[in-house]
Amino acid sequence: MNSFLSTTTNRRAALSFLYSSSLSDNLERVLFEIDANPQLDGVKPFADISSLSYFPGENEVLLMLGSILRLVSIDVGERGVSIIRSTLCSNSDHDVQAVFDYVKNQYGDAEATTLSFGLVLGLMGKYNEAEKYIRCLLKELPPDHEDIAACYHDLGEILDKKGDYDSSLQSHQKALEIMLQTRRPDHPDIATSYNSVAAVQVKTGNYTEALESFRKAFEIWRQAFGENHPNIALCLSNMAGIYQISGKFAEGLDCLKLALRIRQYHLPANHPDIADTHNNIGLLYFTLDQLDFALEHFNMSLKIKQICLPPNHPDIAMTLSNMSLVYEQKEEFNQALLFRAIINLLIVGNAICLAASYNQLEWLFLSLFIVEALLKMYAIGVKEYFHHRWNIFDFTIVFVSTTYSLLTAIIKTLSLNRDVLDAILVIRVLRLVKLVGNVERFKVIFGTFSKVIPTLITYLRVMFMTYYVFAMIGMEIFQNRIVHLDSNSTFAEFCNDTRLNGSDFSKGQYCRNNFNDYLSSLILLFELTVVNQWHVLASGFVIVTSKVARLFFLAFHLCAVIVVLNIFTAFVIDSFLNQYTLSKSKEFPWMQQENLIAERLTRQGYRIIRRYDNIKQSEEVTKKKFNLLEKLRAFVQPSVYRRMTVILQTMADEERALLLHWRGNVDIDPIALLNLTNDSS
């Protein structure tokens, strides 16, 4: 208030003043009820001046100028009297003071008019009363008055809130027409009008025209105010609505986040526009099934709205409704996870019973699997059920198992031969394969192998060439040095060479492991590859030749084991990492998979390199303390194993973080999109 306010504690006296004056058709009787707490710190002074008044019976209380009143509600009482309830706020009430200062700076200290009062009614959600006041003003003002365009604009805003989009669009277009005739083309008010027209066009489904109007508003505001202005945030927020409805969720999220940063920089922390932006971001995350993020932004929106809006404001109800949708979907998701976990346990239990030959329990498990299939058909429909490959696989096994069980019972009753049916028994075991489709980790592992197997041909060629070269060299050096003889032979015990008598080679009966032919050479090299008694096999050939023969086995170990196998290990790890990243990208189909994979690989690569560099620096610091044997072991140990540990640890950390916030496939909810708070003023 910019003046003193005379009030009374006697309601009867206030009503007598109210009814004593005559009332024209364009005016309304209004009773203000003010809740003033004298014990509140920082409140503007007010005092009971009944003892100083000429009429002591009026119980007059005088409020100091500069007092801040916070509107609580507007109701209609007896005889059509509008009752406006408010609370006297303290200057130290930062939540209210910040918004008050911003509004004061925005609208100035001019005297309140019918138009400004209508805007306040609109902010409080009293749309019918606001429309009545603005239409009254349009009738009183002359056609060429400077406020005519503003009246049409504000009327369009009120009609938009009421859901009368056709009338709202007409009012906004009328305001735009007047502004184009009375203002220069680059005036910021024209951009405001373009923005309001576009906001209504979005709700009427004219997305192309709306986007064009938003762009016109954006260009005018950008030239007038720069790129970091609240009006730019307003336009970005409205453009985000079109992107979301068009399915361009990434662009919509970027626009909303940028709008939020601009508004947080310019507006007070508890401004309604910030609450609307949080609400819109929450709806976008809800549409993407990112329920934790959605709930976080809905909570922030609700907290601000409860501070700056009356308790019964429609926007608070809308945010609460959005939050209820999130909780409802979270409960459904938890129930789906529980259902899937129960089915997985049943599959494992069924497999155990099959292994233990608990035939009586097979009917119980079979019945449960039949119930599962029927529940899925009931939930999503028969047609949709058979659109999924895993459902077809599951139904086939259930059908075959049911047929087998019924035929087994019939054959057992008639005492017929059941040998043919026993061959079908293996199909029941295939139910375990279903776990591959239910457990994400199994899907990643089997997906990796499916990608690796076709490309193993080149790797097998390299392995074959390596084996072939060493087999030929081994046959040239060691052929017929060790011979496997018949057990009746005198020299069979020590492989036809007395020098092997009493050696570990002969005691282990490794005489068949030799280089006498190509097949035996390949078998021996394979045993050396898997390090099966590597030192015993090498010692036998050293005994029958010389110590120089150790170089052959060391060379084979370096080439085949350390080099070739490490290449294979690195190849599998790389395939696993790519498959893991791709499986995670399927959780975000609203993005281009290529962009998401590149982003994740870049982030993972940076973390891996950073962590691995830290490991290498630590190794370099301590390397000076190593003895000769430790240095040799560090040299021989392939770095791929150290890198593998870092990669797996990074992936585990990343997965734990993702599980907190990201889940499921995208399912656009049109109801949630309709609840999108559209900024148009």
Higher pLDDT, 51 or 480: 480
Structure confidence at residue 84 (pLDDT): 85
Higher pLDDT, 317 or 261: 261
> What does the pLDDT average to over 436-458?
63
Q: What pTM was estimated for this model as a whole?
A: 0.38
Residues 406 and 132: their CA atoms lie apart, in Å, by 77
> What does the pLDDT average to over 282-303?
87
Residues 452 and 572: their CA atoms lie apart, in Å, by 7
Length in residues, the chain:
681
Higher pLDDT, 517 or 308: 517
Residues 602 and 514: their CA atoms lie apart, in Å, by 50
φ/ψ of 500, rounded to 5, equals -90, 0
Q: Name residues whose C-beta falls within 8 Å of residue 430's C-beta, 6 or more positions apart in sequence.
A: 397
90: how many CB neighbours lie within 10 A of its CB? Answer: 15
> What does the pLDDT average to over 512-522?
86
Helix (H) or strand (E) segment spanning residue 83: strand 82-89
Q: Is 517's pLDDT higher than 80?
A: yes
- At 417-446, the pLDDT tens digits run 555 555 555 555 555 555 555 555 666 666
Domains and CATH numbers, the chain: 1-92 (no CATH), 93-330 (1.25.40.10), 334-438 (1.20.120.350), 453-582 (no CATH), 609-654 (no CATH)
Structure confidence at residue 24 (pLDDT): 63
Structure confidence at residue 300 (pLDDT): 92
pLDDT classification of 603: cutoffs 50, 70, 90: very low
Helix (H) or strand (E) segment spanning residue 681: none
Q: In what order do the strands lie in the sheet with 5-8?
A: 5-8, 60-63, 46-48
φ/ψ of 123, rounded to 5, equals -65, -30
Residues 261 and 493: their CA atoms lie apart, in Å, by 85
φ/ψ of 244, rounded to 5, equals -65, -45
- At 625-675, the pLDDT tens digits run 445 444 444 444 444 444 444 444 444 444 444 444 333 333 333 333 333
- At 269-285, the pLDDT tens digits run 888 889 999 999 998 88
Which pair of tokens denotes residue 604?
Answer: 């993972």
Query: What secondary structure, in 3-state letters, does 327-389 show?
Result: HHHHHHHHHHHHHHHHHHHHHHHHHHHHHCCCHHHHHHHHHHHHHHHHHHHHHHCHHHHCCCH
Structure confidence at residue 287 (pLDDT): 83
Q: Under DSSP, is residue 260 helix (H, G, I), strand (E, B) or coil?
A: helix
Higher pLDDT, 502 or 584: 502
> What does the pLDDT average to over 486-505?
73
**Of 49-58, 330-339, 397-406, 487-496, highest mean pLDDT:** 397-406
Structure confidence at residue 596 (pLDDT): 42
**Of 100-109, 456-465, 604-613, 648-657, highest mean pLDDT:** 456-465
Q: Is 589's pLDDT higher than 80?
A: no
Residues 58 and 14: their CA atoms lie apart, in Å, by 8
301: how many CB neighbours lie within 10 A of its CB? Answer: 28
Structure confidence at residue 531 (pLDDT): 66
The single-letter code of the amino acid at 274 is I
- Of 236-245, 374-383, 459-468, minimum mean pLDDT range: 374-383
Q: Is 575's pLDDT higher than 50?
A: yes
544: how many CB neighbours lie within 10 A of its CB? Answer: 18
Higher pLDDT, 654 or 151: 151
